[in-house]
Chain A
Amino acid sequence: MDVDLIFKVAAIGILVAILHALLDQAGRKEAALMTTIVGLIVILLMVAREIVRLFDSIRSMFRI
């Protein structure tokens, strides 16, 4: 089910946010930026797969 998708995305988001803040504190700005970008890409890939599944189900349902 997609319930766990929400929690996965939220968990990764929180993790990346904390990592970003941590690395910022440590003064390594570019590493913080890198982790944010990587986290964003991972979440985008997961969400993109779910979007395709959602649009396919809508297309098959409304016979578009």
Chain B
Amino acid sequence: MEILQIVGLGIVAASFAVFLRNLRPEMALLVSLSAGMALILLAVPKISAVVSLISAYVNRTGVDPEYLSTILKIIGIAYITEFGAEICKDSGESAIASKIELGGKVIIIAMAVPIITSLIETITSIRP
């Protein structure tokens, strides 16, 4: 089962990171970074299966596929932002982490603008 692999890998990597933290703190950061990446790459096939399933449903229902692609982009950007911010927080650089999160939020808001405008247009058109 994948979950056993993921948990086992996470615990082993955490123990390496703790072991290295007092000897060489920068190595511990790199160990936790590579562990994070390995765990995510384990989950990637599952995520892509879900994404293609969702897009198949959306295409069938006739909703504008542009909205779905924007939502998927926002999810991807949110995930990468969180990945970077957590790594920075782990290494104690919470100031850098908050700047990364700020950048991520700004990009997501910028991408959500067309959806918001179309929402407002549909609302105003319904008004009698």
Q: Which residues of A pack against B, CB within 8 Å? A: 1-3, 5-6, 9-10, 12-14, 16-17, 20-21, 36, 39-40, 43-44, 46-47, 50-51, 53-55, 57-59, 61-64
Contact = CB atoms under 8 A, between A and B. Distances in A.
A16 B51 CA distance: 42
B98 interface: no
Interface string B6-42: 0001001100100110011011101101110110110
A6 to B, nearest CB: 5
A12 B41 CA distance: 22
Interface residue SS majority, chain A: helix
Given A57-B41, A61-B47, A21 B77 contact: no
Interface of B: 9, 12-13, 16, 19-20, 23-24, 26-28, 30-31, 33-35, 37-38, 40-41, 44, 47-48, 51, 69, 72-73, 75-77, 79-80
Given A6-B35, A50-B34, A58 B27 contact: no
28 contacts: A5-B34, A6-B9, A6-B12, A6-B38, A9-B27, A9-B34, A13-B27, A14-B19, A14-B23, A17-B23, A21-B23, A39-B27, A40-B30, A47-B34, A57-B41, A57-B44, A58-B44, A58-B76, A58-B79, A61-B44, A61-B47, A61-B51, A62-B51, A62-B72, A62-B77, A63-B72, A64-B73, A64-B76
B79 A13 contact: no
B31 A10 contact: yes
Contact of B24 (A3, A36, A51, A62): A36
